Amino acid sequence: MKKSEIAKRKTLYEFPVDYLWEGLILEEDLFDRTGEVLLIPAGEEVTWKKLEQIVSFGGEDRYVMSGEKSYRVVMESRVVNPEDDQDLLEQNCGYTRLKDQVNRLLAYANKAREVPWDMAEDVAKDVMHTIQQQNMTVLLNCIDTPRPMDEQLQRHSLNVGLLNGIVAESLGMHPHEVYELIIAGTLHDVGKTMIPDSILNAPRKLTAEEFEIVKRHAVYSYELLGDDVNDRIKEAVLYHHERSDGSGYPDGLQDDIPLFARITAVTDVYDALVNKRVYKAARVPFDVLDGLRDGLNQGLDEKVLTVFIHYMARYLREKNVRMTDGSVGEVFFVPPNDLSHPVIKIGEDIRQTDDYWQCIKVIS
Ligand SMILES: [Fe+2]
Ligand SMILES: [Fe+2]
């Protein structure tokens, strides 16, 4: 190794690859984190394709290195769009506050072995207010964001509460029913706080015996609600895993699943699909809706599912989306029979997405 090269490495500064942007030209060479591999030579433009390559080669290790001058340019010019900063976005729209409230609610229920109704009602009122006041794109972005393991239950509970409220509003339900559906959604899995963490968060496939234990959460949720709650909320919680083909639990109901339980089943599955995503392209609701449509074959209520998908697809029209090549377009049409491949308008061009050109984020 040449002396000059060693000297050069001593001045290398490390920063996340996410901080680079398309079109940037660095004054010094850009290396990988080890300093061994030259990624982009000085003077060469940073392209979207190059950034994607660096990220895909680097896996979890998304840091790169360059000289001090380039480091300063990158760090000082870093402008984070509010819509790109998930923490800030969640804070500003009230999601973080709601999430903390739900966390306290679940923790209290777990400790006291009963749902604290004053807290539950406060959460429901706040959720309802948030749905009515906040920008729906922002809320759906919060719902559609992958979550850390230790926040899964609180986020899922809040998301199902929010989604129940959104569905109820879009169905034109009475405000009191909207409110009850929000409570039911928020508390539908409160019984999971009674399931041992070692089973609930096991990073492996559950044994048949363990799965039976997890299935008890529906009854636990029902019991934790206590006796002073109306039947619609109680039944929604108890029966949110029932399916019209009789394959659900705890009672294997078929035709007699109450409406609130059928609605909660759909929003519950939607949020589970959101959380299950393993590849980047599935970060957008189009793929989640596509996965949800399969629920028709799995005993979800056809009418509720159709209304939900129709509402989401209609809502997504004319939204701005960021594409895999970095361009920004507008959703022109979401084909009902091909939900994961929306048609995008960029300027005068209208083009359908495919396996190579996809939406990666709904912006506004
Ligand atoms: Fe559940
Ligand atoms: Fe759930």
> How does pLDDT run across 68-111, given as a tens digit for each residue?
888 888 877 765 555 566 777 777 788 999 999 999 999 999 99
Count of domains forming the chain: 3
Shared domain for 45 and 9, answered yes or no, is yes
Rounded Cα distance between 90 and 100, Å, is 12
Alpha helices, DSSP H, located in the chain: 3-10, 48-58, 68-76, 86-92, 95-112, 117-133, 136-143, 152-170, 175-187, 197-200, 208-215, 217-224, 231-238, 259-276, 285-293, 302-316
Shared domain for 251 and 357, answered yes or no, is no
Distance between Cα 189 and ligand 2 center (Å): 5
Residue 236 belongs to some domain of the structure: yes
Residues around ion ligand 2, judged by CB within 5 A, are 189, 268
Find all residues with CB under 8 Å of 60, minimum gap 6, and list them. Answer: none
Shared domain for 239 and 170, answered yes or no, is yes
List the domain range (segments joined by +) for residue 120: 83-276
Looking at 221, 244, 276, which one is the last position of a domain? 276
Residues around ion ligand 1, judged by CB within 5 A, are 189
**Residue 278 pLDDT grade (very low, low, confident, very high; cuts 50, 70, 90):** very low
Instruction: Report, as an integer, the average pLDDT of 18-38.
Output: 84
Q: Specify whether the CB–CB gap between 28 and 69 falls below 8 A.
A: yes
Inform me whether the pLDDT recorded for 261 exceeds 90. yes
Looking at 57, 79, 101, which one is the last position of a domain? 79
- Contacts of 353-358 with CB under 8 Å at 24 or more apart are 353/286, 353/323, 356/324, 357/323, 357/324, 357/325, 358/281, 358/284, 358/323, 358/324
Shared domain for 28 and 16, answered yes or no, is yes
Find all residues with CB under 8 Å of 8, minimum gap 6, and list them. Answer: 67
Shared domain for 72 and 188, answered yes or no, is no
pLDDT digits (tens, 9 = 90+) for 294-328: 777 688 999 899 989 988 888 888 888 888 887 88
Shared domain for 342 and 252, answered yes or no, is no
Distance between Cα 188 and ligand 1 center (Å): 6
Helix (H/G/I), strand (E/B), else coil: 329? strand
Rounded Cα distance between 122 and 332, Å, is 39
Q: Which ligand is nearest to the CA of 237?
A: 1
Looking at 26, 45, 79, which one is the last position of a domain? 79
Residue 341's nearest CA partner among 296, 284, 295 is: 284
Rounded Cα distance between 288 and 274, Å, is 6
Whether residue 250 has a cis bond before it, omega within 30° of 0: yes
Inform me whether the pLDDT recorded for 352 exceeds 50. yes
Instruction: Report, as an integer, the average pLDDT of 125-141.
Output: 87
Q: Which ligand is nearest to the CA of 218?
A: 1
Instruction: Compute the residue count for the chain.
Output: 364
Residue 121 belongs to some domain of the structure: yes
Shared domain for 145 and 257, answered yes or no, is yes
Shared domain for 15 and 124, answered yes or no, is no
Residue 157 belongs to some domain of the structure: yes
Helix (H/G/I), strand (E/B), else coil: 14? strand
Q: Cα angle vertex 49, ends 31, 75, to 5°?
A: 50
Shared domain for 91 and 183, answered yes or no, is yes
Instruction: Report, as an integer, the average pLDDT of 19-25.
Output: 81
Inform me whether the pLDDT recorded for 284 exceeds 80. no
Burial class, 19, CB count within 10 angstroms (exposed 0-12 / middle 13-18 / buried 19+): middle
The sign of the torsion formed by the CA atoms of 166, 169, 175, 177 equals negative
Rounded Cα distance between 335 and 214, Å, is 37
Compute how many other C-beta atoms are within 10 angstroms of the C-beta atom of residue 150.
10
Residue 246 belongs to some domain of the structure: yes
Type of residue found at 32: D
Shared domain for 108 and 67, answered yes or no, is no
34, 55, 235, 277 from 303: Cα distances, Å: 55, 42, 19, 25
What confidence score (pLDDT) does residue 281 get? 38
HSE (CB half, 13 Å, CA atoms) of 40? Answer: 28
Distance between Cα 182 and ligand 2 center (Å): 13
More confident residue, 184 or 228: 184
Distance between Cα 100 and ligand 1 center (Å): 20
Residue 262's nearest CA partner among 216, 294, 221, 307 is: 307
Shared domain for 329 and 352, answered yes or no, is yes
Query: What is the CATH number for 131?
Result: 1.10.3210.10
Whether residue 116 has a cis bond before it, omega within 30° of 0: no
Shared domain for 214 and 174, answered yes or no, is yes
Residue 114 belongs to some domain of the structure: yes
**Residue 10 pLDDT grade (very low, low, confident, very high; cuts 50, 70, 90):** low
Residue 108 belongs to some domain of the structure: yes
Residue 287 belongs to some domain of the structure: no
For tokens 């048949």, the residue is: 208
Residue 170 belongs to some domain of the structure: yes
